[in-house]
Chains A and B, each alone.
Chain A
Amino acid sequence: MDVIIENLPLYWNGFLRTLFLSAVSGIFALILGTLLAAARVSPVAALRGFSTVYVEVLRNTPLTIAFFFAAVVLPRIGVKFEQFEIAAIIALSTYTAAFIAEAVRSGVNSVPVGQAEAARSIGMKFGQVLSLIILPQALRTVIPPLINILIALVKNSSVAGAFFVLELFGYGRQMANANGDAVITVLLGTAFFYLLLTVPLGILANTVERKVAIAR
């Protein structure tokens, strides 16, 4: 127990960095994922094709490959960045966006087709139908899987530790190495701080889900 209290500043530091990585990547992933979902249901075949390929490739390959591309391949082809955090954010958001796109798409499909037909019948364009009629109604069904994806994102951010980014798991490993006699306690402490991030997300999911419920 002492080892956790002694290293509390390190834990806190790691916690904040993981929070930062997850929050920024989460926002980018939500934006990108929603755009991909919109492309997937759009009337333009090329957009549908692009979105399908993107989602299938990113969803079906390991996150470490996305990290490898962002951290190693991108700099080689001329995309340089000062910090590896940026590579981590690129990898995490592009990877997570694929899952978000699928969740949003299933939400879109859960809205009765008559809603879109009615909206098109009064002369709305594709973007208006989606943003004014479909997505607001899809939100209710999308929130639970979306939060699941964000929880996975928080945990996936630990992969950044292997790519020169210090975050909660990276600090945890450092501390475990420094305190060889208390490895289990150190790791339990690390797990606790992850829970501190993910459990509130789950609670948030329930609250939001109740708030956006639509009567039918």
Chain B
Amino acid sequence: MIGVITHSLFARFFPMTTHVPDDALVTLNAVNKHYGQLHVLKDINLKVRKGEVVVVIGPSGSGKSTLCRAINRLETIEGGSISIDGKVLPEEGKELAQLRADVGMVFQSFNLFAHKTILENVTLGPIKVKGTSKAAAEKDAMALLERVGVGHQAPKLPAQLSGGQQQRVAIARALAMKPKVMLFDEPTSALDPEMINEVLDVMVQLAKEGMTMIVVTHEMGFARKAADRVVFMADGQIVEDATPEEFFTNPKSDRAKDFLSKLLTH
């Protein structure tokens, strides 16, 4: 009895220390980066557990895209460490390529391979990186393309598809590698308004299925609907790290209050 009380009291006063996420899939430890004089990432510490959906929001230039790109080393970092599933991100080379295969990335500008068909875009990774047979890769790819609703576009080239369709193909391409975690770098920012939802729907579905996701976005609706945690960044720092409910209804910092008030007035 006493044990229960003391335990709950302890948890009440030290919520962070009792809940150390041992199952962290992505860990950023004191990450620092400069662009010349600009300190874009200041001592970033972040843990993302398996199955967690973390939405990173913040004003332009706050470093959120850089943070996202640093996680699969498209941006190098100067200090600290980033590890994925317990493995520290290696330097350039074969090991880095292997690690990247486990980290799906979706870009703002889709970046589908312009000279390959939709189907080839999705099968290329499994065939060339994982050594999957062409037949098996195509079967998987078709299933993924159906899942994101662009199955009938398989033989076309990327330029023949709308932005929303291209982005869904990009998600399928990343999923084809069966990644442990998916990174989304402003996936809907380059889309026409009417195409944003078709991409967000796919992402919400993915979140429901238990995919670990780190999503940099300006879509507050998505953050409310699908996020487990909202990370608010400003000036290269993580200013708040809270549940969406907490963050949107009761932001703690002035910086976040200011940011949210500007969103609501428009």
Residues of A within 8 A of B (CB): 43, 112, 114-115, 117-125, 128, 132-133, 136-137, 214-216
- Whether A118 contacts B159 by the Cβ 8 Å rule is no
Residues of B within 8 A of A215 (CB): 114, 157, 159-160
Residues of A within 8 A of B72 (CB): 121
Residues of B within 8 A of A118 (CB): 105, 107, 111-113, 170, 173
* Complex Cα gap A215–B97 (Å): 29
Nearest chain A CB to B216's CB is how many angstroms away?
15
Nearest chain A CB to B140's CB is how many angstroms away?
14
How many A-B contacts are there with CB distance less than 8 Å?
Answer: 71
Q: Is B100 an interface residue (CB 8 A)?
A: yes
Specify the chain A residue showing the minimal Cβ separation from B104: A121
Q: Which of B9-17, B124-132, B204-212, B240-248 contacts A (4 or more CB under 8 A)?
A: B124-132
In the complex with contacts A128-B128, A215-B160, A121-B115 CB distance below 8 A:
no
* Complex Cα gap A128–B130 (Å): 13
**Contact residues, B62-118 vs A (CB, 8 A):** 72, 74, 92-94, 97-98, 100-105, 107, 109, 111-115
- Whether A214 contacts B114 by the Cβ 8 Å rule is yes
- Whether B113 contacts A133 by the Cβ 8 Å rule is yes
Residue picked from B97, B170, B177, most chain A C-beta under 10 Å: B97
* Complex Cα gap A122–B101 (Å): 5
Residues of B within 8 A of A216 (CB): 114, 159
Nearest chain A CB to B214's CB is how many angstroms away?
13
Residues of A within 8 A of B159 (CB): 215-216
In the complex with contacts A132-B128, A215-B159, A120-B97 CB distance below 8 A:
yes
Query: Hey, what's the 0/1 contact readout for B14-56 against A, CB within 8 Å counting as 1?
Result: 0000000000000000000000000000000000000000000
CB-contact partner of A114 in B92, B94, B111, B174, under 8 A = B111
Specify the chain B residue showing the minimal Cβ separation from A139: B115
Nearest chain A CB to B99's CB is how many angstroms away?
8
Specify the chain B residue showing the minimal Cβ separation from A212: B115
Nearest chain B CB to A165's CB is how many angstroms away?
41
* Complex Cα gap A115–B124 (Å): 13
In the complex with contacts A114-B109, A215-B157, A122-B114 CB distance below 8 A:
no
* Complex Cα gap A109–B98 (Å): 25
Residues of B within 8 A of A (CB): 72, 74, 92-94, 97-98, 100-105, 107, 109, 111-115, 124-125, 128-130, 157, 159-160, 170, 173-174, 177
Known: A112-B111, A114-B111; 6 extra A-B contacts, CB below 8 A, are: A117-B111, A118-B113, A119-B113, A121-B174, A123-B101, A132-B124
* Complex Cα gap A123–B127 (Å): 11
CB-contact partner of B129 in A43, A117, A124, A133, under 8 A = A124
Residues of A within 8 A of B74 (CB): 117, 120-121
Specify the chain B residue showing the minimal Cβ separation from A137: B115
Residues of B within 8 A of A114 (CB): 107, 109, 111
- Whether B125 contacts A123 by the Cβ 8 Å rule is yes
- Whether B174 contacts A122 by the Cβ 8 Å rule is yes
Residue picked from B113, B159, B170, most chain A C-beta under 10 Å: B113
* Complex Cα gap A180–B174 (Å): 73
Specify the chain B residue showing the minimal Cβ separation from A140: B115
- Whether A123 contacts B97 by the Cβ 8 Å rule is yes
- Whether B125 contacts A124 by the Cβ 8 Å rule is yes
Residues of B within 8 A of A128 (CB): 128-129
Residues of A within 8 A of B111 (CB): 112, 114-115, 117-118
Residues of A within 8 A of B105 (CB): 117-118, 121
Nearest chain A CB to B73's CB is how many angstroms away?
9
Residues of A within 8 A of B97 (CB): 120, 123-125
- Whether A115 contacts B109 by the Cβ 8 Å rule is no
Specify the chain A residue showing the minimal Cβ separation from B112: A118
- Whether B113 contacts A115 by the Cβ 8 Å rule is yes
In the complex with contacts A120-B100, A121-B174, A128-B128, A136-B115 CB distance below 8 A:
yes
Specify the chain B residue showing the minimal Cβ separation from A43: B92
* Complex Cα gap A115–B107 (Å): 10
Specify the chain B residue showing the minimal Cβ separation from A215: B159
* Complex Cα gap A213–B72 (Å): 32
* Complex Cα gap A55–B101 (Å): 35
* Complex Cα gap A128–B115 (Å): 15
